[in-house]
Amino acid sequence: MTNQQAARNLYTRTRNEKFALGAFNIDNQETLKAVALAAAAKKAPVLVEVSQGEVEAIGLHNIRCMVDNYKHELGVTMFINLDHSPSVAAAKAGIDAGFEFIHIDLSQAKKDATPGEIVAATREVVEYAKTTGALVESEPHYFGGASNVHTEAIDYEAIKKTFSTPDETKNFIQATGIDTFAVAIGNLHGLYPLPKKLDLALLETIAQANPTARLSLHGGSGTPDDDFRGAVARGISKININSELRRAFRDTLEQQLADHKDEYAVVKLMPAVIAAVQAVVEHKIDVFGSAGKA
């Protein structure tokens, strides 16, 4: 069985067994190790995801090799998701590198991309993904926010204008042939002063109108646990977490540097950093219901 076939089998189980895969962004090897250790501790399947910035910093094939090494070393179920790939060429490169999950998001590079351009690009990636069996994810318009810690409040009136609808979801899936539709129901990239609010009633209508569709939730950081549980119960199969990992990493590293001003072997400061990130991942795994599902 190929990695892609195993990923598809696992993805089918998310709907049947009512759990979601945690998709955890990594910036470096330490974050990857934290995700892998959490997966091992919780006996949970996980997705390691990288977007264009991380790809440029680490390299597609280096990421593939690092993930495979931790899989074999720790005996964990771990796949790779190329997150918000900004072009067809970048998405194809991820497919060629053996990534099991591919998110094509033309609007990241071209925020004024027309619906027709987005559909055409997505269909091209879906067709190319058949060469390996990779699962393809997309959405019909730009998804807002930034994976960082924000001080401004969330403008819900503004983001409601881009909320998904049942018909839009159905039409986009039919037009593109994607495996996963990224819903917009109040989720937003980044961490904000107040918790996010998901429109679970809207999610339920979307899921009911698209009973065979797999749905993902981007911008998960800062969402209350009960909202996550409600989203999983209503059909969410994949949840992306980034900013909470970055905050845990940076805050702990800053504390380590402050506490050990005479230590220049930074590697000696990393166990506490890795443990802090691992704790966030383990908590999300519990909330998403994926513990013990490897």
Q: Which residues are tagged catalytic? A: 83
Answer yes or no: are the C-beta atoms of 209 and 169 closer than 8 Å: yes
| DSSP string over 15-48 | HHHT--EEEEE-SSHHHHHHHHHHHHHHT--EEE
Q: Kindly give, in sequence order, each residue whose CB lies less than 8 Å from that of residue 42, ignoring residues fewer than 6 positions away.
A: 282, 285, 286, 290, 291, 292
CA atoms of 160 and 164, how far apart (whole Å): 9
Three-class SS state of 180: strand
Q: Kindly give, in sequence order, each residue whose CB lies less than 8 Å from that of residue 158, ignoring residues fewer than 6 positions away.
A: none
Answer yes or no: are the C-beta atoms of 71 and 40 closer than 8 Å: no
Q: How many CB atoms lie within 10 A of CB 41?
A: 15
Any idea what the Cα angle at residue 63 is, between residues 82 and 75, rounded to 5°? Answer: 100
Cα of first residue to Cα of last residue in the chain, in angstroms, is: 16
Answer yes or no: are the C-beta atoms of 138 and 129 closer than 8 Å: no
